[in-house]
């Protein structure tokens, strides 16, 4: 899809700090993270919402979500994670994406209010590398 920012990232036309690159999906750091290490997982096929996700992509998508939830704990030292996706309402990019956000007790996240932060110079590359290593390698 020509005007989809996630399709542009998948095509390599827009930069991203990639943490997982597999045949059916791609995961990269959110540019405006709730907390540093906040990852977005997207299917490579342009799919707008979860109900649109083809059955043959579903299990792999959620298996990758599980691995990312583990990686934010093992790679970043988080105590847990927040995993979420929006369908149409509050969906800022009309391409299915799953948020995997590292969590620590007392981090200040309450309900569905998502404060945003920014990476300092070089931090995004460092966080992406830590997550790739926790996922089993730094092959990118």
Q: Contact at 8 Å (CB) between 138 and 129?
A: yes
What is the CB neighbour count within 10 angstroms for residue 9? 19
- Among the options 25, 38, 95, 97, which is catalytic? 97
Radius of gyration, alpha carbons of the chain: 14
- Residue 95 appears among annotated catalytic residues: no
* Three-class SS state of 20: strand
* CA atoms of 124 and 132, how far apart (whole Å): 12
* CA atoms of 1 and 52, how far apart (whole Å): 15
Q: Contact at 8 Å (CB) between 44 and 10?
A: yes
Helix or strand holding residue 111 (H, E): none
Q: Which residues are catalytic?
A: 97
């Amino acid at each position: 899809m020509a005007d989809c920012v996630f399709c542009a990232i998948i095509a390599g036309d827009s930069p991203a700090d990639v943490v997982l690159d597999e045949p059916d999906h791609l995961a990269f750091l959110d540019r405006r993270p709730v907390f540093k290490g906040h990852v977005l997982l997207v299917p490579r096929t342009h799919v707008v919402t979860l109900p649109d996700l083809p059955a043959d992509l579903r299990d792999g998508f959620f298996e990758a979500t599980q691995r990312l939830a583990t990686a934010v704990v093992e790679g970043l030292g988080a105590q847990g994670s927040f995993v979420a996706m929006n369908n149409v309402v509050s969906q800022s990019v009309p391409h299915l994406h799953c948020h995997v956000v590292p969590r620590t007790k007392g981090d200040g996240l309450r309900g569905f209010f998502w404060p945003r932060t920014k990476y300092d110079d070089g931090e995004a590359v460092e966080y992406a590398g830590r997550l790739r290593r926790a996922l089993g390698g730094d092959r990118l």
